[in-house]
Amino acid sequence: MTFTRIDCLKKHQFTHSEVRSFSCDQCGKTFTRIEYLKKHQLTHSEVRPFGCDQCGKTFTRMDYLRKHLLTHNEVRPFSCDQCVKTFTRMDYLKKHQLTHNEVRPFSCDQCGKTFTRMDYLKKHQLTHNKVRPFSCDQCEMTFTQVDQLNNHQLTHSEVKPFICDRCEMTFTQVDQLNNHQLTHSEVKPFKCDRSELTFTQVDQLNDHQVTHSEVKPFICDQCGKTFTQIDCLKKHQLTHGEVRPFSYDQCGKTFTRVDQVNNHQLTHSEAKPFICDRCEMTFTQVDQLNNHQLTHSEVEPFICDRCEMTFTQVDQLNYHQLTHSEVKPFICDQCEMAFTQVDQLNDHQLTHSEVKPFICDQCGKTFPRIDCFKKHQLTHSEVKPFSCDQCGKSFTSKSNLTAHQVIHSGVKPFSCGQCGKSFTYKSNLTTHQVIHSGVKPFSCYQCGKTFTVKSKLTNHQFIHTGVKPFSCDQCGKTFTVKSTLAKHQLIHNEVKPFNCDQCGKSFTYKCNLTAHQVIHSGVKPFSCNQCGKTFTVKGKLTNHQFIHTGVKPFSCDQCGKTFTRLRQLKDHQHTHSEVKPFKCDQCGKTYT
């Protein structure tokens, strides 16, 4: 560093001296001169007589207030030529430009993180210190320094005078707004050589590159998840805490931090200025768009060693690998489903809630969360650029295609210990195992039929309402859910890629082939306890048992005739229809 005056140089040289004989008795920080210690001790004082009339922030000294007032100034004449960030003062610009410097000589001996300046390293090392004497009286978070506590307490304030003109997010401080606005910038000169992600600042790139590292020394003592940085561990540990003081008033979802509320409220916003040029999906932030565009990339370097699924980012792989974990400490008190993380449990419990404010205007289906609603709306979209080269099925995103292609691989590492059935995903195994538990907490109030999961109940209730919004454009047949329509349309498709090697019969789905092959095995494990008849699959046994009970829950609304199975009712209802799409080419007679 260079100086214009000799006294400034001498003051600076003290910072390199090992002699720091003046120490603060409250936080242990040391100083080379007594006046520096006295200035520092004011930060521990509760007396802060100098207040900002624009945002309410208070200070112990007038010069601190003057520096702060510059942050409210619109004039920021000093701009960085590498990342277009602007500053109110030249010294701020010079400090910032060091972040673009490749030389980071100061490294932390605990986690290996490097810094351009010694004071940055010292501030960072406080994060490893267990002494955190400053605690927030609203959410009990603790801090090593009083200024960190003061900045944090602003998150509890409802005064947010700084508004982003792109997405209308609000902030308590102007520097938060400036950092946020960089997410809307298209200038991202710093590129990761592993995942092709780009960043506006070099420190963001450095933080990101740590995610590619195999070294994760920080371990959560509750679920065993590991992290590359201590701050990531601390953020994660909040997910295990019961304290979630921040809630969003539109959907009631609660959060551990106020910045999570700010990010979440964007999901309720209709402003989505960032559009993907591949599939036309829109996003509220440019980083969301960048993460989404990785789904279109062919490069997926991170591979799961259990099921061989590939991912574009290491955090996606880590999150996926939790599905293979046996440790699931968070249990739903309504249906006993278990989860690896508390936020997964919270999201799941919304499925039991009666409040579903998000309604699809195409099929009437309701959702408790905006993200579930948006995913559902993609099912109505015509744009599906990703198609399976084996069966021709198309998808809205590459991740959905990748998940589908596992079906064709034949790899099913997860098997049920009770009946031996195997699955490609552990989540499917978990859902299946509920069948053996006998627990069916969701019952239809019209016919009394019970279900293991609420989604099956919802699909079932369409039978009673008569609403069938999805129709086949070839034969006019209608369906309650789009997935059933998609399966039906394969009937009209001549492509049947799955062939039985014993009799040559072909099928559109592999599951149909698997069910068919049981016929050749001769194994019929499901037997009727009244007449002894045996069946290859449990569904056929269930349909058969209606014969003995006499229950016919499916009735025709036109003539009153009742049936034991839904398929019989649907076939019967065609007799009332005037639509007869099937015509004999020899005599001209038509059929339903």
Q: Quick: pLDDT tens for 95-118.
A: 777 777 667 778 888 777 777 777
Greater confidence (535 vs 48) lies with 535
| Distance of alpha carbon 243 from alpha carbon 250, whole angstroms | 20
| 396 has a pLDDT exceeding 60 | yes
34-48 residue pLDDT tens: 888 887 777 776 677
The residue-averaged pLDDT of 511-525 equals 81
CA pair distance 342, 113, nearest whole angstrom: 29
Tell me what pLDDT residue 470 has: 77
For residue 489, pLDDT beyond 60: yes
Is residue 499 over pLDDT 80?
A: yes
Three-state SS for 515-542 is HHHHHHHCCCCEECCCCCCEECCHHHHH
**What is the signed CA dihedral for 389, 425, 226, 258, rounded to 10 degrees?**
90
pLDDT tens-place string over residues 217-228: 677 776 667 777
Least confident of 348-352, 471-475, 486-490: 348-352
Q: Assign 306 a pLDDT band (cuts: 50, 70, 90).
A: confident
3-state secondary structure of 198: strand
For residue 422, pLDDT over 80 is answered with yes
Tell me which architecture the domain covering 356-408 has in CATH: 2-Layer Sandwich (3.30)
Q: What is the mean pLDDT of residues 352-372?
A: 74
Most confident of 14-18, 82-86, 522-526: 522-526
Contacts for 410-416 with beta carbons within 8 Å, 24 or more apart? 411/307, 411/308, 413/306, 413/307
Task: Give the Cα separation of 178 and 171 in Å (integer).
Answer: 10
Q: Which CATH superfamily groups domain 435-582?
A: Classic Zinc Finger (3.30.160.60)
pLDDT, residue 295, reads: 65
- Pairwise pLDDT comparison (390 vs 297), residue with the higher score: 390
Mean pLDDT in residue range 321-334: 71
Residue 16 pLDDT exceeds 80: no
Question: Structure tokens of 51?
Answer: 């207040």
Other CB atoms within 10 Å distance of the CB of residue 18: 5
Of 99, 70, 65, nearest to 85 by C-alpha is 99
* Domain(s) of CATH 3.30.160.60: residues in the chain: 103-159, 356-408, 435-582
Q: Going by C-beta distance under 8 Å and a sequence separation of 6 or more, which residues neighbour residue 370?
A: 251, 267, 268, 358
Give pTM, 2 decimals.
0.28
Q: Looking at 245-254, 463-472, 582-591, which range is the least confident one?
A: 245-254
pLDDT value at 433 more than 60? yes
pLDDT for 430: 74
**215, 111 contact by CB (below 8 A):** no
Nearest 5 degrees, angle CA 423-CA 371-CA 392?
Answer: 50
| Statement: residue 558 has pLDDT above 80 | yes
Q: Predicted confidence band at 196 (pLDDT cuts at 50, 70, 90)?
A: low
pLDDT over 70 for what percent of the chain?
71
Q: Which CATH number fits domain 103-159: 3.40.50.300, 3.30.160.60, 2.30.40.10, 3.40.190.10?
A: 3.30.160.60
Residues 73-90 pLDDT 10s: 667 778 887 766 777 778
User: What backbone torsions phi and psi does residue 315 show, to the nearest 5 degrees?
Assistant: -70, -30
- Provide the pLDDT confidence category of residue 267 given band limits of 50, 70 and 90: low
Average pLDDT, the chain: 74
Say if residue 18's pLDDT is above 60. no
Average of per-residue pLDDT across 346-374? 73
Phi-psi region at 187: left, alpha or beta (left = phi > 0; alpha = psi -120 to 50): beta
